[in-house]
Amino acid sequence: MIYTITFNPSIDYIVSVDHFKIGAVNRVSKEYLLPGGKGINVSIVLNNLGIDNVALGFIAGFTGNEIKNRIETDFHVKTDFIDVQNGYSRINFKMKSDEESEVNGNGPTIDREHINQLYNKLNALKAGDILVLSGSIPNCVSNDIYNLIMKELKDKGIKIVVDATGDLLMKVLENKPFLIKPNNHELGEMFHVKLSDKKDIIKYAKKLQELGAENVLISMAGDGALFICQNGKVYFSEAPKGVVKNSVGAGDSMVAGFIAGYVQNDNYLDAFKMGVATGSASAFSENLATKEEVEKLFHSIQEVEYEY
């Protein structure tokens, strides 16, 4: 089974406003609500691709109930959330106008008791399961929580995927995650360098591998993607052609696609191609990628072994 964890899920209230004016009454031309959070996005896309999974995390209050309801009812994803009593799950406001703006909520207070409840759930995972640790951590939780979770599950035969940035990612490397997925900008920030070309990106991606990561997937938006495989080979794929409509969730979709390709075919190249196709399909859509959209792009992906 595949499990995702979202520590701070949200309701994303997304509106479009024509020529927003500060200090004036503005009318919304389009609006919609979606459950948000990187792990939740991974769960939704996995389910869209026909891959059974369970979304874990923390919810609170009426907003938390709405998040759970929408995930289960609208997207048919199984959930096993932990109810938190202190506060409400956050509402993130995203406005599309001449410029895009966001206001993100804080979320509830997660204490030690709630973390212990999460550990109890995670200790039920079995060898061969996949766990996705994805996204940022609220201030009320220790910033080494991903590392602590990996230590808790060490030697249980669970493949762990981490999609995070900065110290949150660097701290897990000692525990040898199965896959990590920074983008090229995040990779440069982790090593405090400016990456100017593919050779630079590969050099520092391999440093992450030397520090413990088994596989490293680097997304580069319109410049394609690189995959540094645990077999020592490096693969590159150009980005498929298409009109970018929405970049939100594209990285999460790439993670979901990679996992889907891997569990379906037990093949790293298929996983890489599926990741590129799925991330691109979400970028080319108003919403997260569907199976049909991914299949249309999959056969256009031409991965090449990259010599450097």
Residues designated as active site: 252
Residue type, position 122, single letter: L
Please tell me the number of Cα atoms within 13 Å of 56 on its side-chain side.
Answer: 20
Q: In what order do the strands lie in the sheet with 159-163?
A: 78-83, 53-59, 2-6, 130-134, 159-163, 179-180, 215-219, 225-228, 234-237, 303-305
Residue with tokens 């509402």: 91
The DSSP output letter for 108 is P
Q: How far is CA 201 from the centre of its chain?
A: 20
CB proximity list for 210: less than 8 A, separation 6 or greater: none
- What residues have CB less than 8 Å from 238, skipping those under 6 apart? 224, 302
Asked if 86 and 111 count as a contact pair (C-beta separation under 8 A), the reply is: yes
Three-state secondary-structure class, residue 209 = helix
Separation between Cα atoms, residue 129 and residue 263, nearest integer Å: 10
250: CB partners within 8 A, 6+ apart: 219, 279, 280, 282, 283
* Distances 177 to 42, 106, 132, 217, 296 between C-alpha atoms, Å: 17, 28, 10, 12, 31
Dist. CA 269–CA 157, nearest whole Å: 22
Q: Which residue has the tokens 């004036």?
A: 24
